[in-house]
Amino acid sequence: MNSRDSLFHIIRAVIILLIQILVLKRIGLSSLWWWQHGQIFLYPIIILLLPFRMTRHYVIILGFVVGLLIDMFYDTAGVHAFALTGMAYARGILMTWLEPRGGYQITMSPTNHTMGINWLMIYTSISVFIFCFLYFIGEVFTFVYLGQILLKTLITFFMSMIVIMGFHFLFNPKK
């Protein structure tokens, strides 16, 4: 990855973070039923869109850092970092599972453009589900409310998937 590519990734990440903090967080502030049980997360896409050749270690550390940044704005010390680090680790395992016969084009990122819609759907949905589940476990910090955790996870998962896949179709990122 040359420096121009890195810069592109960083700027895109900052824009996604801003959308998450300034728009998506605010949308959750209405009194409708489903907002009370769920939230919308777009920012996991930052980790999902990292290039294939990035080593696992970098991905995990980035997950932690991005999570902490979001925590600062959500006032939820550690919860987002916990969930996103978990998702970043899972990404490594998922990539091994889902590796196509010819291997990955390692300079590319996992997008609709490079991998096709089926692969992208499986990859994104498993990752986002893991993220949402870990997030609500970290938030409640006990398994006592398992029913509530699952309900919140499902609602948040569907709303986040809509936003994340929307991002893919709208901007159709190639890197």
Partner 1 sequence: MNNLLQFVIRYSAFILFLLLEAVALTLVVKYNKNQKGIFEHSSSIFSGKLYQMADDVYQYNHLQTFADSLASENAQLKQQVFNLERSVQRLIPADKPLDSCILEAYQLIPAQIINNSINQRNNHFTIDRGKKDGIVNGMGVISEQGIVGIIEETGSEYAMAVSILHSAVQISASIQRNGYFGSLVWKETDPAHMILEAIPGQADIRIGDTITTSGYSFIFPKGIFIGKVEQFWTEGGSNYYTIKVRLHEDIARMNRVYVVKYLDENLLKNEQ
CA distance 48 to 120: 10
Instruction: Read off the DSSP letter of residue 22.
Output: I
Give every CB contact of residue 56 below 8 A, 6+ residues apart in sequence: 89, 92
Q: Could you say whether residue 97 binds partner 1 (CB under 8 A)? A: no
Q: Which is nearer to partner 1, 68 or 121 (CB)?
A: 68
SS3 32: coil
Q: Which is nearer to partner 1, 7 or 14 (CB)?
A: 14
Q: Could you say whether residue 139 binds partner 1 (CB under 8 A)? A: yes
Question: Per-residue DSSP letters for 91-132?
Answer: HHHHHHHT--TT---TTS-SSHHHH-HHHHHHHHHHHHHHHH
Total residues interacting with partner 1, rule: CB under 8 A: 41
Q: Could you say whether residue 76 binds partner 1 (CB under 8 A)? A: yes
Q: Could you say whether residue 51 binds partner 1 (CB under 8 A)? A: no
Stretch in the footprint of partner 1 (CB under 8 A) among 1-9, 36-44, 107-115, 163-171: 36-44
Stretch in the footprint of partner 1 (CB under 8 A) among 25-33, 45-53, 101-109, 123-131: 25-33
Tokens representing residue 154 in the block: 């499902």
Tokens representing residue 59 in the block: 């991905």
Decide if 66 contacts 13 (C-beta within 8 A): yes
Going residue by residue from 142 to 171, which x/- string records binding to partner 1, judged by CB under 8 A?
------x-----------------------
Angle subtended at Cα 165 by Cα 160 and Cα 168, rounded to the nearest 5 degrees:
135
| Cβ 21 to partner 1 shortest distance, Å | 7
Binding site for partner 1 (CB under 8 A): 21-22, 25-26, 28-31, 35-39, 56-57, 60-61, 63-64, 67, 71-79, 81-82, 85-86, 88-89, 92, 138-141, 148
